[in-house]
Each structure stands twice: as C-alpha cells, then as structure tokens.
Amino acid sequence: MNRGHGDIAVQSIRISGFPGISDTPHDLDALLREPAVVAYARSWQDYLDKDHVDGSRA
C-alpha cells in the first residue's frame, strides 16, 4: 500500500526455513526463477484455483 511516501521497490529478499533455497539474500528476480520457488508458486496457485469441498474458493 502506498501512503504517499513514494514507491517501494524490492530488490532482494532473505528466505529461511524453505527447503531448496539457501538462507542468504537473493536477487528477487533470480529467486522467482529458482525451480523450488516456481514449483511452490505453481502449487499455491493450484490451491487457490481449486474449488473446495464446500464449494468455496480460497
């Protein structure tokens, strides 16, 4: 959310406790191309896209 203080740009991110990714700062664009992150994002998107037992969506 921008509250009038200018744009926020994320250039690097530190991931911890995530199998397949080292616990060091990563360039965000490079991190998003990591196979483990691609697989996790795909799995999360599949979850969000599916219909749940009660007919609702995530």
What average pLDDT does range 29-58 have in this prediction? Answer: 80
Taking the complete model, does pTM exceed 0.85, yes or no?
no
Q: Which has more confidence, 29 or 25?
A: 29
Query: Among residues 43, 49, 47, 50, which one has the least CA distance to residue 18?
Result: 43
Q: Is 10 exposed, middle or buried (CB count within 10 Å of its CB: 0-12, 13-18, 19+)?
A: exposed
> Would you say residue 35 has pLDDT above 70?
yes
pLDDT value of position 2: 53
